[in-house]
Amino acid sequence: MTYLPRHLNDRLIRMVAHFPVVVVAGARQVGKTTWLEHALPDWDRVTLDATVDVEGARRDPDLFLRNRPSPLVIDEVQYAPELVAALKRAVDRDRRAGRFVLTGSQQWQVLKGLSESLAGRAVFLHLEGFSLAERAEVSGRSWLSRWLEAPGEPPGRHRLALHETPHELLWRGSMPEPALLPLDLVPDWHAGYRRTYIERDVRQIRSIEDAQLFGRFFGLVASQTAQEINHTQLGRELGIARTTAQQWLALLVGTWQWFEVPAWSGNAAKRLSNKPKGYIADTGLACTAQLISTPTALGNHPLQGALFETAVVAEIRKLCAGMSPSPRLWHWRSHGGAEVDLVLERDGRLFPIEVKAATAPRRRSVQGLTSFAKTYGDAVAPGLVVSLCDRPYALSADTWAIPWDLAPTPQSVP
C-alpha cells in the first residue's frame, strides 16, 4: 500500500531527540505502526497482544525490557499494564533521550498510568486519520497557524489539489486504508472495522453482553454527530438507562471513536455545566453506520451538513496537534440561541469559526460570530467561515469565508 508521510513526523523526531519516552496514541488502524516503521526504521519493535503474553511482558516486565534493549518501539502498550512501573524503573536508571516509543489505542488505565508515572520523562502525541494536506502529499505552514498569528487577513490563497470531491472525502473518511481503497470496497472495510472494534476492543474493556445493541448505539451516536449530547435521549432511543448511555459514550471516547468539544463561557463554573458538542471521529464510519451507500447519496442526505462540520472540526484538531502549545477548542451557544461552531483559545484571545456546507456563504453566516464578538469584546479576534467556497473572500469588515481545503504555505516562503 502507498505510504503517505505524516505531518507530525518532525515533532516526533524532535521529541525522540529530547525525551526518554514518547507515547503515540490514537484509534486502531489510524496508522501508528506504519508511521513509526517509516519514521524510526532502525529501531527494534515488538507488538503486544491481548491474549498472548508476548515475551513475558506481563509476567516479568523488567526481564522483558532487559531482553529488548532500547531504542525500542512497543506497540499496543495497553495490553501489558505491568510494563508501566518497569518502564519507570528503566528510565530512572538511564534518562537518555530516545529510549522508548510506545503506542496505545485506548485512553484507559495504562495510558493514564504512563502519564502519571512518567511525568517529566514522557511526552504524548495524538495521531488521527489523514489530514487533507497529507492526502494531497503537501506540507508547509498550515492556514490555521497563519490565521492565529494574523487574524483578519486571509490565511491563504490556494486550494489543495485533491482528486476526490468533498462528498467522496467525507464518505471515505480519513483512515489510511479506506482513503486509498477502490470506492466499491470502502463500505466493506468500514463494516469490518466496526465489527472488529465492537467484538475485540469494546469487549476487552467492558463486559457488554449484547454486542448488537452496542452496534445500534454506535449508529445512533453517529447520527448525532455535531450536536450537543443528551444522554437521556440516547438511552430512551435504545431502551437503556441514562447511566449506561453515559458509560458507552465514555467507552467510545476512551477508544478515540468519538470526541467532544466543551462549551465556552466567560464564567468558568458555567463551562462545567453546559453541554459539550460531540463528534464521530471518522465520517466514513458514520456514513457506513447510516447506510449511506455512495458519495452521491451523501450529497442528498440530511446528515450532509453535520458530517461536513464534523470533518472540518476534525481537520482543525489535526492542525492543532502540530502546534505547541495546542489551542483549546470550545463551542458557544447563548441563551438567546446564537451559536458559534468552534472557538479556539490561545494567547488570551478567542478565535471564532463557523462551518457552512455551502459553496457561497452569505453575510447572514456571520450572525453568530457577531453575537459572540459583542458578548466578549476585545478578546475576540476576527472570525472565519469555513465552507465549500472555491476561494477566500471577505464576508464583512472582519470576517473571511475560506475553503476548507486551503493549502499550506511552503516553509521556504516567508
**Cα–Cα–Cα angle for 364, 370, 374, rounded to 5 degrees:** 155
Which helix or strand (DSSP H or E) is residue 383 part of? strand 383-387
> Any idea of the CA torsion for 309, 314, 316, 321, to the nearest 10 degrees?
170
* Contact residues for 166 (Cβ-Cβ < 8 A; gap 6+): 308, 388, 404, 405
Question: Which domains occur in the chain, in start order?
Answer: 9-126 (3.40.50.300), 132-403 (no CATH)
Q: Where are the alpha helices (DSSP H) in 224-361?
A: 231-238, 242-254, 268-273, 283-289, 295-298, 304-321
The pLDDT averaged over each successive group of 10 residues in the chain (414 residues) is 87 96 94 96 94 94 95 94 93 95 82 80 94 95 95 92 96 94 96 91 80 92 94 93 93 93 78 80 96 95 97 97 93 90 96 96 89 94 96 93 94 47
Q: What pLDDT sits at residue 413? A: 40
* Contact residues for 173 (Cβ-Cβ < 8 A; gap 6+): 129, 179, 190, 282, 283, 284, 285, 286, 287
Do you find a cis peptide bond into 71, omega within 30 degrees of 0? yes
Grid coordinates representing 376 are 466578549
Q: Is 96 exposed, middle or buried (0-12, 13-18, 19+ CB in 10 A)?
A: exposed
Cα 90 to Cα 69, 71, 72, 344, distances in angstroms: 10, 12, 12, 39
- CA pair distance 409, 141, nearest whole angstrom: 5
Could you tell me if 352 and 345 are in contact, meaning their C-beta atoms sit under 8 angstroms apart?
Answer: no
Q: Which residue has the cell 457561497?
A: 360
DSSP 8-state assignment for residue 159: B
Write the single-letter amino acid at 290. Q
- CA pair distance 254, 128, nearest whole angstrom: 14
